[in-house]
Structures are given as C-alpha cells and as structure tokens.
Amino acid sequence: MTIKNLEDLRKIKERAKLSTSARRKSETQVIVGMGTCGIAAGARDVMAAILDEMSRAGVHDVSVMQDGCIGMCQKEPLVDIVRPGEPRVTYGNVKPADVPAIISEHLVNGRIVSGLVVAKV
C-alpha cells in the first residue's frame, strides 16, 4: 500500500494495532509450542490459523504466546489453553483444521475438545 496522506498512515497503524493485540499479556492465554520439534511438526501453520480464527471470531481479550519444547515432541504441535480458574489444557497433534473447534468450543465457550487433549494441569 502506498501512503499518500496522514489518513493512509492512520489506517495502517490501526490494522497493525489489531493484528498485534493478541500478543499482549492477559489472563486468558493460548500458548503454542514453537520449539524446533513443534515447528517441524507444523506449529507455524497452527499459530497462523489461531490468529486468523481469533480475528474472524472477534476474540481480542486473549493473549497468544509461544513456548519452547516441553518434552512431548511426539505430540507436536501442542497448543495450551489457559482460562482463569480452570486447569491448563494441552491439545496435541493439532492441525490448522482443528483450530476453529478449539477456539469456538474451548476458548470462547469453555467446553474442552476432548478428542485432542493430551494433558490437563
């Protein structure tokens, strides 16, 4: 996009602010395992799908973060959902196609997607 005036610059700033809002710390979190094992298993595509789905669903009050390897390499890509007052739930072997269910069911509605759970802490 070519910036022709101050209004064009403001539009770019607003889009950037919306796209980075998920990176801020909040009580509710989505954490994606981005160690080398996770990346090799497709964690980057899963992270992109999470950000896209949250944007599509209008979810803005959740932090999306990345973590290193936690030792369950055979279950990568791993995605943790942390909601206040609830156990931390780890989903394993997550594919981008699984993301809409995780976001809508667990993150938004608080219902665990049991078929993908590998741990609850």
Domain assignment present for 104: yes
So what's the pLDDT on residue 12? 79
Number of domains within the chain: 1
Locate 72 and state its tokens.
């369950």
Mean per-residue pLDDT, 52-79: 91
Question: Does 1 score more than 70 pLDDT?
Answer: no
pLDDT at 4 over 90: no
Give 40-54 as a DSSP string: HHTHHHHHHHHHHHH
Range of the domain at 96: 21-120
pLDDT for 107 equals 94
Is 12 part of any domain? Answer: no
Q: Is residue 3 part of a domain?
A: no
Residue 41 lies in a domain: yes
- Considering the chain, what percentage of its residues have pLDDT values greater than 90? 65
Amino acid in the structure at residue 60? H
At 66-118, the pLDDT tens digits run: 999 878 999 999 999 999 999 999 999 999 999 999 999 999 999 999 999 99
Predicted structure pTM score: 0.78
CA–CA separation, 43 and 89 (whole Å): 17
- Quick one: pLDDT at residue 7? 86
Tell me the Ramachandran region of residue 92: left when phi exceeds 0, alpha when psi lies from -120 to 50, beta otherwise. Answer: beta
- The CATH number for 48's domain is 3.40.30.10
Q: What is the mean pLDDT of residues 6-35?
A: 76
User: Is residue 58 assigned to a domain?
Assistant: yes
Query: What is the residue-averaged pLDDT of the chain?
Result: 88
